[in-house]
Structure 1
Amino acid sequence: MYDNLREFYKSNITRDYEFRIEALKKLRDEIIKYRDKINEALYKDLGKSDFESEISEVSFSLIEINYLIKNLKKLMKNKNVSTSIINFRSKSYIKYEPHGLVLIISPWNYPFNLSIVPLAGAIAAGNVAVIKTSSSSKYTSLIIEEIILNIFSEDFVKVEKGDIGVNERVMNEKYDFIFFTGGKVTGKKVYEKAALDLTPIVLELGGKSPCIVDDNIDLKVAANRIVWGKFLNCGQTCVAVDYILCKRSIYQELYKELLRALEEFYGKDIMNSKDYGKIVNVKEYNRLINILIKEKQELICSREDLKIAPHIFLASFDSPSMKEEIFGPILPIILYDDIDDVIEELNKKDVSLALYVFSKNKNFVNKVMKNISFGGGCVNDTIVHLSNPNLPFGGNGESGFGKYHGKYSFYTFSRSKSILDKNYFPEIMLRYPPKKDKVSIIRKLMK
């Protein structure tokens, strides 16, 4: 089905620096030209405000593209490494080459960002690409396709839209690399398909990302940052705060500050706030409402508008909201007295994609960081670790594997070849037979 892309890749055009840099610049310039239409599409799909779309989708993508444009020449250079004494008079280096035909499967929650940022990495590394967008973000998918068709041949980048039938058709093809962002259930199916062809794959999944709050904090600032990170995109963020672990002694104060921040950010009538998004579709809306019903919460919602107000409540590790990733505007708070109990409990659970800790106590922070595994996170903030292109982003264990952003996107979408280039002189006979009396010499050299 994608023979044209494979033929284009075999022409070696995409391996040239000039082709890659020109493609990245075209992508950047077209996004800038289309940014108002992108924001409009994101509003239709997810109710995102222009401001939210800019910071989390459009500008985020441009930052990544600009990083690759600025650093591409350096990234493409062979990386020299040291050579052992055994290989005297030789040089060693790592050469990076593209995988070939890359499949990028993007989700609906950040449909522009999570299509374009991986695509930029694939282009920078010299690949050709197929992007499979989500059928739940149909307006953004149309804009992505329009942008790509304006600047690239379908022999180079192909956008596939549609539902399960398109998914099956796309997944029936063989690829040289697969990059998947989405839920765990679908991710496992994609992983199984990749395994059949031994196709290398990156899985960017999710999980229940905790936010640990100590009693030694700036309550107002902490509440601002937690509310922003949780209710951005109406909570439909893979690295959103899934639940809070709050020191019992400050619960009442923190709860008041969370409510204060909500009102300051979204107003008293949050359901009609232009800065507050909506749930992507009826299926997700019903799933979230079901969680709230099980939690016996008073529902503040509108099925017609697919809106659910923020719901913040006390919970326990056994509560219905703690059974699965929430992925919506529901924020359980679990109280604790001793951080050692928290660490013990979290280490029983799947490794989360993110973890956040709020504390002015460095020993407290270091204890958390040392003893809990997670993909990435922040101290005294939420989500913003994604915005630094110098930090690799990705999961760990059940939250996925593989890293990208900045230079890590280039390396992820590249194959590394290890090369040792040896001089003809001198010809050291020690390695050749006969072996007699050579063992002691080898042992000394290999120390």
Structure 2
Amino acid sequence: MSREQLVVQRARKSFQTGKTKPLEYRIHQLKSLHRFVSERRKDIADAVKKDLHKSEHGTELFETLGLENEINLAVEKLAEWAAPRPVEKNLLTISDEVYVQPEPLGVVLIIGAWNYPWAVTLQPLVGAIAAGNAAVIKPSEVSPHSAKAMEELLPLYLDKDLYPVVTGGVSETQELLKHRFDHVFYTGSSAVGRLVMEAAARHLTPVTLELGGKSPCYIDKNCDLAVACRRITWGKFVNCGQTCIAPDYILCEPGIQGRVVEEISKSIKEFYTDNPKSFEDYGRIINQRHFKRVMALMEGSTVVIGGDSDESQCYIAPTVLKDVTAESKVMQEEIFGPVLPIIAVSGVDEAIQFINEREKPLVIYVFSPDNKLIRRVIAETSSGGLLANDCLVHFTVNTLPFGGVGNSGTGCYHGRHSFDRLSHLRSCLIKKLNMEGVNSMRYPPHTASKLGWARFFILRRVNLGRLGSVALLAVLAALAAFVAQRFSQ
């Protein structure tokens, strides 16, 4: 029996004891996770520094701050989220209990990503714990220092059987996917997402796939280009461009391309100085394989900003490409690096057409002072999310569902959306053993009279809120007695 199989069996056995059902237990584990983040801040930052050359403050801002926010919200709202949810009744069920009861799914597999190795691995864990599940956590082997720290430190705070950490590479992940889970939550590339979904399908296991894609950024010529380019520069080059929701490319009219380049150049110097290579808050490509991949994407394109690189340090300077076409090499796959192509379009019509001719992206960015233009882009395109006049920050709003559509993913999470995604929303109807006369309409023999009454009870829309419950029950009782008398004749 493999190590992975033992871990999964132990998690399931522990879940089946029922220990995760009480909300008090879930809250205790969530608070322990919060304590882990607070007490191990330095260990987390050291690991991310070794993996991605990210500064200590940058790690807190982009990795653990959002995680703390998710935990705090879950602790505060858990009783509300987990409570039975009453639903509207119809005439047939007016005297019954009708509600939705969230219940745990069971054992969840969380496969994390390397670009934000703590945030995108542990935020889904918050939802899994809050919903009362066990969870097997598989951090990405591509960020090895973070994976090792998670494996060593997380079990010091969370239940070791219910929330085990499994490290390793592709073979270990494949071995985990051979076993039955009740949900698989994967963050990463579309190519691997297909393999995860295929493996999960063998067990009819539902999946959440948080993928990526080429997220476009349309700049309207009438917007404040200085502010727009400053925000785009931040969104693109944070974490050395290795962000699933980074603007992948710019669409703008030829007349403003020169000004866009100028403003982005100013912002790069403002954020990262004249020498980003020596600046603490400018990161590195995760490894040499990805370094070579990103460098190859620039072949055949015109560099107007940056372009410097150092393979020994996996360093690529913030880079902007101009006069890029749809056929350019850099437009054939998600860049996932500090390279920003600019594609000339005649206006918003061509921009919308360009976006719609490609796979649905994780997010569309549009910069414009014109609310009608923004609404038009919303109405005529499809994407996981849409953000106007800024970049990335929709990820911080935990009341918004975060996720993709089509090639950019399936399912969503954050806040209550995580809880609901990792729960079974169970339909519950509790009837009483009375008013049997009304039920006579559904029993054989099926007559025209009975069908008429069935149509009345099932299809008639009645505003149940206008009548008091006592008055409504009295009316229904009288109606039931009348129906029963008709059917008994």
Supply the distance in 2 between the matched residues of 1:91 and 1:171 (Cα, whole angstroms): 40
CA contact (8 A) 1:93 1:420 kept: yes
1:279 has 2:280 as partner:
no
| 3-state SS of paired residue (2:362) | strand
1:63 has 2:63 as partner:
no
Identify the range of structure 1 (304-313 vs 246-255) with the bigger mean alpha-carbon deviation: 246-255
**What TM-score results when the alignment is normalised by the length of structure 1?**
0.98
Taking every aligned residue pair, what percent have the same amino acid on both sides?
A: 37
Residue 337 (structure 1) aligns with: 346
Supply the distance in 2 between the matched residues of 1:211 and 1:355 (Cα, whole angstroms): 6
Which residue identity is paired with 2:255? S
Give the RMSD, CA atoms, in angstroms: 1.3
| 3-state SS of paired residue (2:267) | helix
| 3-state SS of paired residue (1:395) | coil
Supply the distance in 2 between the matched residues of 1:252 and 1:333 (Cα, whole angstroms): 10
CA contact (8 A) 1:203 1:400 kept: yes
- 1:384-413 CA distances to partner (integer Å, 9 max, x unpaired)? 000011100000011010010000010111
Supply the distance in 2 between the matched residues of 1:377 and 1:392 (Cα, whole angstroms): 12
Identify the range of structure 1 (267-276 vs 424-433) with the bigger mean alpha-carbon deviation: 424-433
Supply the distance in 2 between the matched residues of 1:88 and 1:81 (Cα, whole angstroms): 11
Supply the distance in 1 between the matched residues of 2:443 and 2:204 (Cα, whole angstroms): 37
| 3-state SS of paired residue (2:186) | strand
Residue 386 (structure 1) aligns with: 395
Residue 306 (structure 1) aligns with: 314
1:326 has 2:364 as partner:
no
Alpha-carbon shift at residue 296 of structure 1 (Å): 5.6
Supply the distance in 2 between the matched residues of 1:397 and 1:3 (Cα, whole angstroms): 33
Alpha-carbon shift at residue 430 of structure 1 (Å): 1.7
Supply the distance in 1 between the matched residues of 2:399 and 2:74 (Cα, whole angstroms): 11
Identify the range of structure 1 (415-424 vs 24-33) with the bigger mean alpha-carbon deviation: 415-424
Supply the distance in 2 between the matched residues of 1:49 and 1:357 (Cα, whole angstroms): 30
1:443 has 2:451 as partner:
no
Q: Report 1:144-155 matches (<5 A).
A: 144-155=150-161
Q: Which runs of 5+ in 2 are unaligned?
A: 461-489
| 3-state SS of paired residue (1:206) | coil
Identify the range of structure 1 (436-445 vs 123-132) with the bigger mean alpha-carbon deviation: 436-445
Identify the range of structure 1 (18-27 vs 331-340) with the bigger mean alpha-carbon deviation: 331-340
Residue 172 (structure 1) aligns with: 178
Alpha-carbon shift at residue 247 of structure 1 (Å): 2.6
Identify the range of structure 1 (386-395 vs 135-144) with the bigger mean alpha-carbon deviation: 135-144
Supply the distance in 1 between the matched residues of 2:107 and 2:138 (Cα, whole angstroms): 13
Supply the distance in 1 between the matched residues of 2:271 and 2:343 (Cα, whole angstroms): 24
Identify the range of structure 1 (47-56 vs 258-267) with the bigger mean alpha-carbon deviation: 47-56
- Work out which of the residue numbers 420, 425, 432 in structure 1 matches 2:443: 432
Supply the distance in 1 between the matched residues of 2:18 and 2:452 (Cα, whole angstroms): 50
Which residue identity is paired with 2:431? K
1:212 has 2:182 as partner:
no
- 1:7-32 CA distances to partner (integer Å, 9 max, x unpaired)? 11010000110100000000001110
Residue 255 (structure 2) aligns with: 249
| 3-state SS of paired residue (1:393) | coil
CA contact (8 A) 2:44 2:146 kept: yes
| 3-state SS of paired residue (1:158) | coil
Larger Rg, first or second structure (1 or 2):
2
Alpha-carbon shift at residue 426 of structure 1 (Å): 1.7
| 3-state SS of paired residue (1:53) | helix
| 3-state SS of paired residue (2:54) | coil
CA contact (8 A) 1:235 1:329 kept: yes
Supply the distance in 2 between the matched residues of 1:91 and 1:341 (Cα, whole angstroms): 54
1:367 has 2:379 as partner:
no
- Work out which of the residue numbers 106, 111, 120 in structure 2 matches 1:114: 120
Identify the range of structure 1 (199-208 vs 80-89) with the bigger mean alpha-carbon deviation: 80-89
CA contact (8 A) 1:230 1:329 kept: yes
Supply the distance in 1 between the matched residues of 2:69 and 2:86 (Cα, whole angstroms): 28
Supply the distance in 2 between the matched residues of 1:308 and 1:185 (Cα, whole angstroms): 25
1:4 has 2:10 as partner:
yes
- 1:345-379 CA distances to partner (integer Å, 9 max, x unpaired)? 21111000011110000111111011000001311
| 3-state SS of paired residue (2:229) | helix
Q: Report 1:79-228 matches (<5 A).
A: 79-228=85-234
Residue 473 (structure 2) aligns with: none
| 3-state SS of paired residue (2:327) | coil
Q: Report 1:345-424 matches (<5 A).
A: 345-424=354-433
Q: Report 1:33-52 matches (<5 A).
A: 33-52=39-58
Which residue identity is paired with 2:130? A
Alpha-carbon shift at residue 443 of structure 1 (Å): 2.9
Alpha-carbon shift at residue 440 of structure 1 (Å): 2.5
- Work out which of the residue numbers 245, 251, 254 in structure 2 matches 1:239: 245
CA contact (8 A) 1:82 1:91 kept: no
Alpha-carbon shift at residue 331 of structure 1 (Å): 0.3
Which residue identity is paired with 1:360? P
| 3-state SS of paired residue (2:217) | strand
Alpha-carbon shift at residue 164 of structure 1 (Å): 2.1
| 3-state SS of paired residue (1:175) | coil
Residue 27 (structure 2) aligns with: 21
| 3-state SS of paired residue (2:313) | coil
Supply the distance in 2 between the matched residues of 1:210 and 1:102 (Cα, whole angstroms): 33
| 3-state SS of paired residue (1:154) | coil
- 1:271-319 CA distances to partner (integer Å, 9 max, x unpaired)? 2111100000111001011112243648410011100011101112221
- 1:215-247 CA distances to partner (integer Å, 9 max, x unpaired)? 121222111110010001000000000000113
CA contact (8 A) 2:14 2:161 kept: yes
**What TM-score results when the alignment is normalised by the length of structure 2?**
0.89
